[in-house]
Amino acid sequence: MRKIVAANWKMNLRRESAATLAGALAGDLRQLWLFPAAVHLNSVRLQLSDTKILLGAQDLSVHKDGAHTGDISAEMLKDCGCEMVIIGHSERRQGYNEGSDVLLRKLVRACSAGLRPLFCVGESKAERDSGQANAVVESQLLILKRLAPEARAMVAAVAYEPVWAIGTGVNATLAQIEEMHAVVARKLGGIGMHATPILYGGSVTPENARELLASRAVDGVLVGGASLNYDALSRIDDCAKAQEIAPRGVSAQLEPAPPPEALALLFERDTDDFNIEVKVKPAAPAAIVAEVPATPPSDGALSRYEQEMGLRKPPTQPLPRTSQGRLQPVAPTSQGKLPPVRPVSQGSVPVAGDISRKATAPLPTPAPAKPTTPVAPKAPSEAPTAEVKPEAPGAKTDKPEKPDTSKNSGPAKKSNIYDDTDRPSWV
Ligand code: PEP
């Protein structure tokens, strides 16, 4: 499997420029993971059919559905054609106080909907300067230990992104990256995630990508600023194309990921406190594997992902439906109301560095590695228990299918998606 290039477009671009950039990359037969802003998911997705570019979202709601103004649920993202979602990015940890509780709930939501998390970890400058980088990253990874093995198997990648390197133009040195990736690999290996790719993120540019991607410790890169520029992203991807991911450890074999149906986790009690009670739908894994046909499905978001990853068998059962019976992904033709974006993928291969030759409108040319905001030093502790606040009783009216939660008011049962035996001290 070749090394991964994931592009986090953050809150940048406009509908047409996002679609044009995606179309240009698709026209070059790139194999990327693209994370556009949520409002651009649809227009970008229309450029990606029959390509090896995978679509992901930058965030998701901790809620399942209902009266949560401004939120976007995991199922909505799946319905939009997303296969992955970024969780734990430092800009959300810091800017929105997302700590362990919130992140764990987002991980569960994503996995439950069949969205594969791209989970980010990384220490701040203050934490590194005080010698806590390893401890901080290890504690951030503990969340994954609290997922059920089926959910862990769905994690698309873990990205090590030192906060001080994001958007600053100062990338970590290769020695620092290799040391931290070894820490991450050891932690992941301890919970059976030997084969989960480990990406580096933080001021990756075409200039440093070759060295980074040549390292056996780096399975790919998560690129922010430079990913907004067609030429820069193409050159980074060229560096990745030449490199294979090196297997980590002898026991690197993952169990085949179960199809989404087996991960249809039923939220029995979905209060906004941390103790989400989750039940895995009774589905014998052996039976699921036995149902995999000789010919895998040739389309569908998840099957493309599976083929891309080359690790697991594609699902055989229908894609998950919402409680209203909606099915995903949406057929591209159903989106005819969008203003047309010139189908650049059907033209000639673009000249590297000159996306405007095939675009209906020139792309903005943001400076790839220019820092946008100074990185605020972060206190060593992320105070994870502070951010999940229970809603007022009766505030939730959006989950009619849930059983009466009053029956669950006794001591919290041990969830089978969290391993409470290893509950970290900070929750
Ligand atoms: C990121 O936001 O994940 C990132 C790595 O950004 P940048 O490449 O701009 O540092």
Domain coordinates in residue numbering, the chain? 1-427
Q: Which CATH number fits domain 1-427: 3.40.640.10, 3.40.50.300, 3.40.50.2300, 3.20.20.70?
A: 3.20.20.70
Angle, CA of 176, 177 and 183, to the nearest 5°: 95
CA-based radius of gyration for the chain? 21
The answer to whether 144 touches 110, Cβ cutoff 8 Å, is no
C-alpha 354 to ligand 1 mean position (Å): 23
pLDDT of residue 248: 82
Question: Is 89 assigned a catalytic role?
Answer: yes
Residue nearest ligand 1's atom 1 by CA: 224
What is the β-pairing status of strands 157-160 and 277-279? Answer: unpaired
**pLDDT less than 70: residues of the chain:** 249-427
Ligand 1, atom 7, lies closest to the CA of: 224
C-alpha to C-alpha distance for 273 and 388, rounded to whole angstroms: 6
In 3D space, the residue among 252, 262, 265, 259 whose CA is nearest the CA of residue 313 turns out to be 259
Q: Which atom of ligand 1 is nearest to the CA of 89?
A: 3
Phi, psi for residue 302 in degrees, rounded to 5: -70, -40
**Residue 309's pLDDT is what?**
46
Q: Is residue 166 lining ligand 1, measured as CB closer than 6 Å? A: yes
Atom of ligand 1 nearest to the CA of 166: 10
Q: What is the pLDDT of residue 323?
A: 62
CA of 63 to the centre of ligand 1 (A): 27
Per-residue b/e over 124-143, b at no fewer than 16 CB within 10 Å?
Answer: bbbbbeeebbbebbbbbbbb
Q: Which residue has the tokens 């391993």?
A: 419
Catalytic residue among 91, 161, 277, 308: 161
Q: Per the structure block, which two tokens stand in for 125?
A: 């400058």
Ligand 1 centroid to residue 393 C-alpha, Å: 40
Q: What letter does residue 274 receive in the DSSP assignment?
A: S
**Alpha helix positions (H), 245-403:** 285-290, 301-309
CA of 279 to the centre of ligand 1 (A): 36
User: 166 exposed, middle or buried (CB, 10 Å; 0-12, 13-18, 19+)?
Assistant: buried
Residue 134 has a pLDDT of 96
Instruction: Choose the residue to mutate in 4, 5, 8, 221 for probing ligand 1, maximizing ligand atoms within 8 Å of C-beta.
Output: 8
The strand pair at 266-269 and 277-279 is best described as antiparallel
